[in-house]
Amino acid sequence: MATFSYVARTRTGTQRRGTIVADNRDSAMMRLNQMGLVADKLVETKGTLAGAKRVNLNRKVKGPELLVFTRQLSTIVSAGLPLMQGLDILAEQCEDANFAAVINAVAHEVESGETFSDALKKFPRAFPDLYVSMVRAGEAGGDLDGVLLQLADYLEESEELKRRIKSAMTYPVVAFCMIIMIATGLIVFVVPQFAEIFGSFGKALPVPTQILITISNFLHQWWSWFVIVGVIVGIYVGLKVYGKTAVGKYNLDALKLRLPVFGDLQRKVAISRFTRTLSTLTRSGVAILQAMEIVERTAGNEVYARAVRAAGESVRNGETLAEPLARSQVFPAMVTRMIGVGEKTGALENMLMKIADFYDSEVRAKVDALTSLIEPILIGMMGIVVGGIVIALFMPILGLASLVQQ
């Protein structure tokens, strides 16, 4: 496939510009005619820098972009417009050139005879398994617009959850970096001034003061910064490599769940994601076993992914869903009991959605409480760090004053 840049006119004479993906120039011209456009200029952009950027079909699509695309496509399909026309409209108005090229490529696959879900499956970086499976279920049930609307609602809830967590984490990270910078500035620029004064005393310095001066002398060596950066980079790379192994990923994710405050928040997020994803998939018509496999891949935490995998195997062997989830001991009793009730009453999808809504509200409350607690905690940390440095600097002076008084 190649990408063509075009300048064309509508039947009313309005000029339009954009890009289109097709096998060749004739195919591109045919696509434009089907869109109701008369081409004034059609140039293949393959091989140019701009074209290379536009044809990056393997780029991961951002969540907000996929959300807008899904919401708009749902509106277009429910309004009765053909799918091909809807894809062409969305590709034309998409501001991201890469995503526009992906949409054009999907439209080309559909035009070639592929189903919409099979066309989406060829671009896994843009459309995840969950997205493709739900679209396939919507196609099979003849309710594509309804499934797209469910997908848009699901993506919107997911993005809102990510935004809340990100906003809660941004402030403490920035404030912690400021504390490190202030402490480093005091040690590098202020402590040496006091060290010269202490040298004239001719007395042994208190241990905290001596430690502070030793750290200051270390940081004044040019090679010390390479050592610090090397240690930080080494730890980061080591954790990344360890985290890519099955054992390492599980252990690190288990450690995250045991962190004070943040561990409980991640646990609630994982449960909310599991229940909302499973509810959305089963409600759209995806088989429970296939839905469990997709939920496992989108769990976001290996501890919960393993629990879901084991539950899927148990369901395949004839058990109910609630029993293996309860045995895993990573889901609260309230969750497993509500799922059990949902299975018995035939209202599993609604029960899962109620659980997701409950844990979403818990996450919101936790984030709000965390945000209100973080500021005084960080102020206290700054006071301890700066106060500790000041006390260590003034201990020799106070000791000298007591000697003079004697």
Q: Give the alpha-carbon dihedral of 35, 36, 38, 39, to 10 degrees.
A: -10
- The reported pLDDT for the residue numbered 237 is 93
Residues 6+ apart with CB under 8 A from 329: none
User: What single letter denotes the amino acid at residue 229?
Assistant: V
List % helix, strand, coil for the chain (3-state, nearest 5). Answer: 75, 5, 20
Q: Which of 342, 325, 344 lies closest to 333 in space, CA to CA?
A: 325
Helix H, strand E, coil C: the string for 239-292 is HHHHHCCHHHHHHHHHHHHCCCCHHHHHHHHHHHHHHHHHHHHHHCCCCHHHHH
CB atoms inside a 10 Å sphere around CB 142: 8
**For each successive 10 residues of the chain (406 residues), what is the average pLDDT?**
72 72 76 76 57 57 86 87 83 81 84 84 84 83 82 84 77 83 87 80 79 87 88 92 89 88 84 86 82 83 89 88 89 90 87 88 82 79 86 78 49
Rounded CA separation 229/223 (Å): 10
DSSP assignment letter at 322: H
- The reported pLDDT for the residue numbered 274 is 87
- C-alpha angle 326/330/332, rounded to 5°? 65
Q: Which of 62, 16, 64, 61 lies closest to 36 in space, CA to CA?
A: 16
Rounded CA separation 227/129 (Å): 44
User: What single letter denotes the amino acid at residue 390?
Assistant: V
- The reported pLDDT for the residue numbered 251 is 92
Residues 6+ apart with CB under 8 A from 66: 126, 127, 131, 155
pTM to 2 decimal places: 0.68
Whether the CB-CB separation of 366 and 182 falls below 8 Å is answered with no
Rounded CA separation 276/312 (Å): 17
Rounded CA separation 213/217 (Å): 6
Rounded CA separation 296/274 (Å): 8
Helix residue ranges per DSSP H, 186-221: 191-199, 207-219
Q: Give the alpha-carbon dihedral of 138, 141, 143, 147, to 10 degrees.
A: -30
